[in-house]
A and B are shown apart, each in its own frame.
Chain A
Amino acid sequence: MKSFFCVVLTALWSAPSWSSGAPPPAGLWTQVDFRSIEAAPLDGEPNACLRAWFEVRRYDIRPQSGDVLAGMFTDTTQTRTLGLMSAHERCRFPEPAPMPLSNQMRTWSVTLSAQGANRWITRARPESGAGNVKLSSTEAFETRLTLVGVLIDTKGDLDDPDGALVFRPAAGPPPDFRTALESMLVRMNSGECLAVAGSLTMGAGRQDFAARVCELRRRRTPFVGNYISVRVSSSFEFDRVPKGFPALGPPSGWKRQHGVLCSFMEVFEKQELPADAILLEEGGRWRVAMLW
């Protein structure tokens, strides 16, 4: 039943038109960049506070009269905290966004002029904005949209990850990521901690990373009891990561990478513990790359 629902929903959104007969590319299209991971100190501990920066771009395109298409474009730069301590009220990040949870939403109205069967010139005019930080200004722009199953927004080469934004039809995260998360947690809590922690991208190059992680988890076992479940509280899908990911710092170019940031509770018999994970899709399979 669950898989049937997913198939139906996926099919619904794979044809991103608001009503039957609406011309392409009418619909809701999303593209998300995982921009960076930012660290800040807390009580003398240098990297105790962590947050991830995302940039979410979305086209909401609708048919107007005749062949005219118009709609909205939104660009939301936002943070999500990583790990138990990072939402602490004493976590303070550098200006201009010191609060752990920061966001800026910019909005444009757009009109699309057809340039052939699957290509449009898009003109965007600034509209209202919102958010608790101001990181970027909202300027008018012009771009080219090409529909090839996905919607590619580019000013240059279609295949250039730095210059082309690939928008997907809006849809919920694929269910497979959750299977990978659950499987990882079962393994981690049933004696395979070293193997699982050693496979995390965040531990690459650090010989003792897995041993330390597992030693900490082993010590808490008497207090938390058997692992029995996971309670997922949110999942956030992204499409690109900076080159050099997951190194901290500003991006120096992009690579296409499908992934999900997932927040969840690890449920033990005696306690529930909050955690976050980044899962990446590689070769059609999901794996947990980072875990806090």
Chain B
Amino acid sequence: MSLKPSRRHSPSRFCTALVFVLLMSGTSTSSGDPDCSAPRLDSAEMGELANNIVLVSSGSHSGLGLVVGWKPPLGEAPGEACAAVPAHVVYGQDRTPSHSRYRSQVLVRFAGEPPMRLSRDPLFPQGDADLTFVCFDWDGRHWFHAGLIPRAMRPGDPLQLIGEPGLARISQVRGTLVGVAPNVSISSGADVSTTGLNGVKGQSGSLVASPRGVVGLYLGAADNGYALSLRAIEGMARTSNVLWQLTEARSFDCTIHRRCCPVTHGTPASPSIAFENLAGGVSATVDIGSCADLAEGSYELRSTSNSLVCEPRSLDVYGGAAPLEVLVSCALRLDGTWQSPEGAELYCLGSVQGVADCAGLATLGLGAFEGRLVANGARVSLSGTFAGFGASGDLHWSAGRLTGEIRRQNQSPIVLNLKRAE
């Protein structure tokens, strides 16, 4: 990954910015190139999307629908879920349908389960779009996946249908995204065009899945498949007062960068933080108080100092105009074995950042110590017992050593000088 100068620098500040970037080159380093090749379809993730599929039949027509919104049961009132369904699956070619007739003949069910009671009449077809909504009672037991909407759609993205005739499962029909039109086509009722996505009768309403999320609802195929995008469906749901719960899918676009600035409010401060992209190939080391442009992605964070442990240890970076301030809190790494030059040993286990439960120091002549070290910046307080008698001490951390005094109740203090055993 390369560091990028901020695009918001005005021309009049170009020289200042250039000097700044040159100065900053000593405070942040990066290596590797992000892998920005087209994402791949993950069958495990796609399988979970099938949870939102309902099987729909109406007279001689059948197909599938996508649950787009739900609300939980409230007291005696049943919950409700609403599915987007191709209008032709519910109404066939009837463009002026009668509510009462279709309500009695539309059956909606999850795969392997009995039909559910419709909570209201099916909606009319939505303008030029080949779409309607069917709402039904939901008891809160069947789980839906909300994170479906792709954050971006790119021509060339691989596509695959989820849903086969009468089944909510991954189909083997694959294709490629051609594009998304700004408006719904009057002839097809769709706005997404594809190549190769040639389904069969009964697959209308399948989910058109891409690695970035669900592109839309499959409507059919002429020479190639076409679909209605979730964004278009969302607009229609909101206009028609239909429940809408879907959110953006978790995906990263590594061509998009975000300015990330690690900061700290406490001491000891890590000199710098290493950001390692979990997708591989990309890492950056950024000084506290400095910034770097990081590609969207999931990162592991760690201090560049072995003496410190920091939180958080991971970070998801999404694109955004404003810099992302990453609050990093670090504490001395107290766990492990500490040894004095005279051979005394203190064994510590850290369960909380900056706190460790310790035992040892038996060779000091005070009895065995058991207690706790608590770091506050470079100061480390010690409390506990020496063989049942109260123990206390104040230590200071410097250059990898803990030095200071400890005492057993009212006895004279003993000087302690501990170094972590490597």
Contacts and interface: CB of A to CB of B under 8 A. Distances in A.
Interface of A: 2, 9, 12-13, 18-19, 28, 58, 60, 62, 71-72, 74, 107, 109, 127-128, 170-173, 182, 186, 190-195, 198, 207-212, 214-215, 218, 221, 226-237, 267, 269, 272
Interface stretch (B94-102, B144-152, B176-184, B399-407): B144-152
B143 A231 contact: no
A239 to B, nearest CB: 15
A233 B359 CA distance: 22
Interface stretch (B30-38, B193-201, B329-337): B329-337
A74 B368 CA distance: 14
A109 B143 contact: no
A212 to B, nearest CB: 5
Interface residues of B, number: 55
Contacts of B324: 228, 269
A135 to B, nearest CB: 20
Interface string B123-159: 0000000000000000111011111100000000000
B71 A215 contact: yes
Given A18-B362, A215-B71, A235-B352, A229 B316 contact: yes
A8 B311 CA distance: 22
A218 B388 contact: no
A62 B388 contact: no
Nearest to A206: B140
A210 B143 contact: yes
Contacts of B314: 182, 229-230
B21 interface: no
Contact of B385 (A62, A107, A170): A107
B334 to A, nearest CB: 11
A146 B70 CA distance: 57
Nearest to A173: B351
A72 B73 contact: no
B366 interface: no
A172 B335 contact: yes
A164 to B, nearest CB: 24
Nearest to B142: A194
Nearest to B299: A229
A191 B147 contact: yes
Nearest to B79: A211
Given A9-B336, A72-B370, A267-B312, A235 B351 contact: yes
A192 B245 CA distance: 12
Interface in B366-406: 368, 370, 385, 387-389
B345 A18 contact: yes
Given A172-B335, A211-B140, A267-B312, 7 more contacts: A72-B388, A170-B357, A182-B314, A229-B315, A233-B353, A234-B351, A235-B352
Nearest to A211: B72
A220 to B, nearest CB: 13
B387 A72 contact: yes
A211 B142 CA distance: 10
Contact of A109 (B317, B329, B388): B388
B349 interface: yes
Contacts of B141: 198, 207
A233 B352 contact: yes
B360 interface: yes
B136 to A, nearest CB: 15
A195 B145 CA distance: 8
A60 B361 CA distance: 13
A60 B143 contact: no
B357 A231 contact: no
A60 B370 contact: yes
B350 interface: yes
A267 B387 CA distance: 43
B249 interface: yes
Contact of A194 (B146, B362, B387): B146
A198 B143 contact: yes
B247 interface: yes
Contact of A226 (B249, B318, B362): B318
B353 A72 contact: no
A170 B349 contact: yes
Given A208-B79, A211-B140, A231-B329, A171 B72 contact: no
Contacts of B353: 232-234
Contact of A211 (B73, B335, B370, B388): B73
A128 B337 CA distance: 28
